[in-house]
Amino acid sequence: MATTASGRQAWRQLMRNTSRGPASSLSKPQPQQQYRFAFSRQVSSKARVASGRAASQPPSSIFRQQQQQQPFAQRSYSSGSQGGKNTPPRNSQQVKFWPFVVVIALGSGGYVLLVNRRKEMPPTDTASSGGSSTPAFSPAEVTVLFVLGGPGAGKGTQCSRLVRDYHFKHLSAGDLLRAEQDRPGSQYGQLIRDCIKNGEIVPMEVTVALLENAMRETIASTGVRKFLIDGFPRKMDQALKFEEIVCPARLVLFYDCPEAEMERRLLERGKTSGRADDNAESIRKRFRTFVETSMPVVDAYDREGRVVKVDATATPDQVYAATVDKLKKALGDKL
Ligand code: C5P
Ligand code: MG
């Protein structure tokens, strides 16, 4: 599918950037880098908040499952098929000597070819997410709550109240993507625009990097270390990559709302939001993506007992009261 192919392309591009150093940009490297690419496994020690606990933190079991399912890296090495053409003519006088020379020459040539070809190959997914990474932030020092729910479930509304009362930093994956889409010179602008309009998931490398950068900036500039990550992870690979390299999440706050109610809210919002995806056609696609791709993420966390589910059908005040009540039970009175 287009998204998967473009995802692989984005991954190769990003990995090429990272191989130049830990401070690559989401755009092509520029003197004034606004965004730093965050996927280097050699995150600078200054930027790391990781403590011993992060280093020893075992990957979550959903991550282990995924690792087991990952196929082995497949590289199609040349089998030296040009050997047929180069086979010397049979000559009964040379038969004892030349075959050895030819075999050794072909073997050595093939080996050099393979080594050179391998150097040019991009790293495979397995190599780059082999589970040996240490998250950039320790869950002992940084709290991450994922906030999920269908489009129009009220995630943003509830997050802004939690920010007001409990000093979280609200990071909306959708808002970060829209900002990146509009950033002059972004090489992902068009890709993001297309995905959003069609209700598809943007390749996770882009979204995870934007989130990690935003977390770093927040911690550096405000010292706030409690994050509500809204609208993320929308797909299993986002969850796995984020928990592997950024920070294991404490829990998922899931807003459960019937589709008819969400549709009503989105169409109402669409009158003034100016969003390219708040129209009937995009809404339909977003619902489908949510059911097929995002709900399995909620279900996976639920199996781990990491979901706090709130009924989001009632008024914002009522939903907020239920949210605070349930979060306090899960996290303690101070949240
Ligand atoms: O969360 P929000 O409704 O603002 O997201 C808008 C769009 O941004 C989604 O429909 C999707 O295309 C993209 N998105 C994404 N991955 C995320 C969050 C949003 O691809 N984690
Ligand atoms: Mg939102």
Question: Is the pLDDT score of 198 beyond 80?
Answer: yes
| Residue with more model confidence, 34 or 217 | 217
Using one digit for the tens of pLDDT, what is the confidence trace for 95-145? Answer: 566 777 777 777 766 666 655 554 444 343 333 444 568 999 999 999 999
Q: Could you tell me if 221 and 227 are in contact, meaning their C-beta atoms sit under 8 angstroms apart?
A: no
Q: Could you tell me if 196 and 190 are in contact, meaning their C-beta atoms sit under 8 angstroms apart?
A: no
Of 10-19, 39-48, 57-66, 303-312, the one with minimum mean pLDDT is 39-48
Q: Is 211 in the pocket of ligand 1 (CB under 6 A)?
A: no
The alpha carbon of 332 and the centre of ligand 1 are apart by a number of angstroms equal to 30
Whole-angstrom distance, CA of residue 183 vs CA of residue 49: 28
Question: Is the pLDDT score of 286 beyond 50?
Answer: yes
Burial bucket for residue 221 (CB in 10 Å: 0-12, 13-18, 19+) = exposed
Q: Which residues are paired to 172 by β-bridges? A: 230
Using one digit for the tens of pLDDT, what is the confidence trace for 142-168? Answer: 999 999 999 999 999 999 999 999 999
**How high is the pLDDT of residue 105?**
74
Provide, rounded to the nearest whole percent, the portion of the chain with pLDDT above 70.
63
Question: Is the pLDDT score of 276 beyond 90?
Answer: yes
Whole-angstrom distance, CA of residue 6 vs CA of residue 68: 25
The alpha carbon of 7 and the centre of ligand 1 are apart by a number of angstroms equal to 15
Could you identify the atom of ligand 1 that is nearest to the CA of residue 200? 12
Average pLDDT, the chain: 77
Query: How sure is the predictor about 193, in pLDDT bands with cuts at 50, 70 and 90?
Result: very high
Ordered by where they begin, the domains of the chain are 146-327 (3.40.50.300)
**How high is the pLDDT of residue 34?**
38
The alpha carbon of 138 and the centre of ligand 2 are apart by a number of angstroms equal to 26
Segment 175-184 shows an average pLDDT of: 98
| Strand ranges across the sheet with 169-172 | 169-172, 226-230, 143-149, 251-256, 307-311
The pTM of the whole model exceeds 0.75: no
Whole-angstrom distance, CA of residue 230 vs CA of residue 320: 15
Segment 271-291 shows an average pLDDT of: 97
Using one digit for the tens of pLDDT, what is the confidence trace for 230-251? Answer: 999 999 999 999 999 999 999 9
Question: Is the pLDDT score of 203 beyond 70?
Answer: yes
Report residue 286 CA to chain centroid gap.
Answer: 19
Provide, rounded to the nearest whole percent, the portion of the chain with pLDDT above 90.
60
Q: Is 199 in the pocket of ligand 1 (CB under 6 A)?
A: yes
**How high is the pLDDT of residue 31?**
35
Residue numbers in the known binding site are 152-157, 178, 200-202, 231-234, 238, 269, 275, 286, 314
**How high is the pLDDT of residue 131?**
52
Q: Is 155 in the pocket of ligand 1 (CB under 6 A)?
A: no
Pocket residue to mutate for ligand 1, from 147, 181, 202, 206, most atoms within 8 A of Cβ: 202
**How high is the pLDDT of residue 102?**
73
**How high is the pLDDT of residue 132?**
61
Using one digit for the tens of pLDDT, what is the confidence trace for 35-89? Answer: 333 333 333 333 344 333 344 444 455 544 444 443 333 333 333 333 334 444 4
